[in-house]
Structure 1
Amino acid sequence: MAVQARRAVGVDIGGTGIKAGIVDLDKGILSSDRVKVATPPGAEPDDVLQAVRTVLDTLGVAVDHEVPLGVAFPAIVKGGRTMSAANVSKAWIGFEAEKFFEHGLGRSIHFANDADVAGVAEVRYGAAKGRSGLVILTTLGTGIGSALINNGTLVPNSELGHLQRAKHKGDAESYAAYSAMEREELSWEAWAERLQWYYSHVEFLFSPDLFIVGGGVSKHADKFLPMLDLQTPIVAAVHRNNAGIIGAAALALG
């Protein structure tokens, strides 16, 4: 008899969309379709919880509590509490989010920062697997998320999307996230100039051994990564926009 693959569910909550899937943890790939719904306007806790219920119900695992569940969220997460609120309601700041989701879903979960879980996916199954030294993963989307991985170990809750730019009002993500490209209708070349500033600045601060670029735009990596001039190798995430789902599921089993 064949041994059944280890499975877990990953939910990746973002500023614009909530994605989920069932993950084969032996292979590090989705074993189901990816389900996605829009993040509710304002991203208030009760509305986000209802959206998560919707994706779990669509996957057919809303009442299957034998399959572990991991949830990724765009905030600093300490002890299950969300300590910041990037592109979601300010009601999440200081909020007992893990307990809130566990009560609302009627089950135990593993709850973590969204970029951190994407980093975990790339360490276990992707571009950072077996890499020594400092790897910095960034997710380019509504904002800029980051994960620091030193010799395979995650350093949680880095917020490199909020580095300040002296000549620009606001932080790095308001200037260089993919949403800025869309909002200002920038060409790939013009956006790459902003990314050049961003990655050069991070490179100067941390001297990493590898940059990994994730988020939905990473599927178009060939349109902008070759324009960047860095000392550090920079590659697209293997799992692209599924990294959050895969990493959240992986962490659900520890």
Structure 2
Amino acid sequence: MVKVLGVDIGGTKVRMSVVDEAGNISLDEKLPTQFPLYPYLEEQVLRFMALDPEIEAIGIGTHGFVDPVQGKVIYATETLPGWTGTEVKVQLERATGKHVEVENDANAAALAEAKFGAAKGYGRTVCLTLGTGLGGGIIWDGKLLSGGKHGGAAEVGHMILYPNGVLCTCGREGCSEQYVSGTALVRRIKEAGLPITPHELFIQAKTDPAAQKVVTGFTKDLALVISSLQAAFDMDIVVIGGGVSESAELWWDEFTQHLDTVLLNPLEVKVAQYENEAGILGAALLVLEEIK
């Protein structure tokens, strides 16, 4: 049985798991993200390799713009300070002697949903990850749309939704992720003067007009983002994952009502099957497909 190490790097935690070719997860750990990030990552990878000497390769999904050919982080916001410019592939291959692949984390999640999850069997998929930011991954006829001249392909969170809007971590104003993400929900809740969490927001919206107004703004903006993506890609399906999707049953009906009013054509939209598992499975798939 082929085994690889999958690593999912986010702003607050790093998840590391041994994954086999059937998608089974073992030695699963969630660790707080620490800085400087690269030495910490190398230390943890070497520890995992000692725990399971059968690990054959390492796949890494990370926040930021990534050049997947070089395995280099082209740009990361201050969510991961000091990560911009890190040559992850070269350094980690030197340290471990194993093959390493590096991708944007949302791209990795899209791979997992296309291979194992909600988008299995579809040719053209857009996967949105609603977490700390808004990530995007696009599968086109079975292949990942990735890289780009500056590593920024499918960075849907940085499409401008509202010109001159809320300042984004990328330095521009009005990016989509400032309106459609977990962080955006926290901001919207605070601005509404509500002392509640995002999950509590969706429950409270049933009886509280102020909470309902926040939910309406969020779901309308998510619908607008998907409408714009449809105009560009005319995809078969959209899959929505990330932490915010875990409470989708509380906001899905309102969201689809808004979506129906802005779509050019009918579109299938599903909640991610793997939710927060997609990132780690997708990271593993970056190398599993090559060594099977």
The TM-score, its normalising length taken from structure 2, stands at: 0.74
Contact 2:60 2:101 in 1 (8 A): yes
The corresponding residue for 1:212 is 239
1:196-251 CA distances to partner (integer Å, 9 max, x unpaired)?
A: 23222323333222100111232222122322233321111111111111111122
- Which runs of no fewer than 5 residues in structure 2 stay unpaired? 147-152, 167-172, 190-197, 203-214, 260-265
CA distance in 1 between counterparts of 2:107 and 2:248 reads 21
1:9 and 2:13 matched: no
Change (3 A) 1:24 1:95: closer
The corresponding residue for 2:280 is 245
1:34 and 2:9 matched: no
The corresponding residue for 1:184 is 188
Q: CA RMSD in A?
A: 2.4
Where do residues 1-254 of structure 1 align in structure 2 (5 Å cutoff)? 5-26=1-22, 28-30=23-25, 32=26, 34-40=28-34, 43-46=35-38, 49-51=39-41, 53-54=43-44, 57=47, 61=50, 64=53, 66-78=55-67, 79-89=70-80, 91-105=82-96, 107-132=98-123, 134-156=124-146, 157-167=153-163, 168-169=165-166, 170=173, 171-185=175-189, 187-188=201-202, 189-190=215-216, 191-229=218-256, 230=259, 231-253=266-288, 254=290
CA distance in 2 between counterparts of 1:131 and 1:121 reads 13
Of 185-194 and 147-156, deviating more is 185-194
Contact 1:122 1:243 in 2 (8 A): yes
- Which runs of no fewer than 5 residues in structure 1 stay unpaired? none
Identity of aligned residues (%): 30
Bigger Cα Rg: 2
Contact 2:5 2:55 in 1 (8 A): no
Change (3 A) 1:122 1:80: same
Of 191-200 and 235-244, deviating more is 191-200
Q: State the secondary structure of the residue aligned to 2:232.
A: helix
CA distance in 1 between counterparts of 2:122 and 2:96 reads 37
Contact 1:137 1:211 in 2 (8 A): yes
The TM-score, its normalising length taken from structure 1, stands at: 0.84
Of 174-183 and 96-105, deviating more is 96-105
Q: CA deviation at 1:193?
A: 2.9
* Aligned positions, number: 242
Contact 1:213 1:234 in 2 (8 A): yes
Q: Which amino acid aligns with 2:91?
A: F
Q: Which amino acid aligns with 1:240?
A: E
